[in-house]
Amino acid sequence: LAKTTQPISMDSYEGQEVNITCSHNNIATNDYITWYQQFPSQGPRFIIQGYKTKVTNEVASLFIPADRKSSTLSLPRVSLSDTAVYYCLVGDNQGGKLIFGQGTELSVKP
Amino acid sequence: DVKVTQSSRYLVKRTGEKVFLECVQDMDHENMFWYRQDPGLGLRLIYFSYDVKMKEKGDIPEGYSVSREKKERFSLILESASTNQTSMYLCASNRDFGYGYTFGSGTRLTVV
């Protein structure tokens, strides 16, 4: 199973764009890249998922280079409510065993 | 929206008790999962199920068992609770592998 590496913490200010990069050097051909957001005392919430190139939804964008060894979650114009832990996961659609890493604790300041 | 409901937000149990954690999802998802989350260790997969009456061990199944008698319900059982099972337990489901998970709000279990 591919292991992911992401920064432990990041700081930002309201209104800024935040980019969180995740490294997954051992990603396999069938693996998808998925990002989750977790607030204290709540379960993680699905944000976005992609396989290659760029994916955008109403919340975020996900950029995946051609070699797929890393990915970047982009949050446009963050607000205080975006303060949370963000997890990058890599997994295939066979075994179902998605592995959560330590996540990135994003702190958005006024 | 998919809802994954965990029966209790907080539970306090005594060492040696048999504990049942219940999880129900309302969108006919095939797969259901149980994780525990601990500070510094992140989320760790305990068990998962991809069909009724089917179960697979995750990374830390010791001390736990599961039951899936109906598609919508996945129960985690602590046969004899111990203090090292004090944790936040999270249930999740998805419609198929490769799709995003929907998590419940979690059950914070304290074993005293």
Percent of chain A with pLDDT strictly greater than 70: 91
Only one residue has tokens 């149980």, namely: B34
Q: Does A93 contact B98 at a Cβ distance shorter than 8 Å? A: yes
Q: Looking at residues B56-73, what average pLDDT do you find? A: 95
Structure tokens at A18: 């935040």
Neighboring chain B residues of A49 at a CB cutoff of 8 Å = 99-100
Residues 12-41 of B with CB under 8 A from A: 31, 33, 35, 40
Percent of chain B with pLDDT strictly greater than 90: 75
Strands (E), A45-83: 45-50, 53-56, 61-64, 70-75
Q: What is the pLDDT of residues A66-95, one digit of tens each?
A: 999 999 999 999 999 999 999 998 876 555
Cα–Cα dist B7/A94, whole Å: 29
Nearest CA distance, B97 vs chain A (angstrom): 4
Question: How many CB pairs below 8 A link A and B?
Answer: 61
If pLDDT is split at 50, 70 and 90, which confidence band does B39 have?
confident
Is the pLDDT at A62 greater than 80, yes or no? yes
pLDDT score, position A41: 83
Structure tokens at B67: 């039951």
Q: What is the pLDDT of residues B88-97, one digit of tens each?
A: 999 999 887 6
Query: Chain A: residue nearest B91 by CA?
Result: A43
- Residue in B34, B97, B107 to test binding to A, most A beta-carbons within 10 Å: B97
Q: Looking at residues B10-22, what average pLDDT do you find? A: 97
Q: Does A92 contact B98 at a Cβ distance shorter than 8 Å? A: yes
pLDDT score, position A23: 94
Average pLDDT, chain B: 92
Residue B103 contacts A where some CB pair is shorter than 8 Å:
yes
Residue B106 contacts A where some CB pair is shorter than 8 Å:
yes
Nearest CA distance, B14 vs chain A (angstrom): 22
Most confident of the ranges A37-51, A68-82, B96-110: A68-82
SS3 assignment for chain B: CCCEEECCCEEEECCCCCEEEEEEECCCCCEEEEEEEECCCEEEEEEEECCCCCCEECCCCCCEEEEEEECCEEEEEECCCCHHHCEEEEEEEECCCCCCCEECCCEEEEEC
Q: Looking at residues B56-60, what average pLDDT do you find? A: 91
Neighboring chain B residues of A100 at a CB cutoff of 8 Å = 35, 42-44
A96: nearest CB among B31, B40, B108: B31
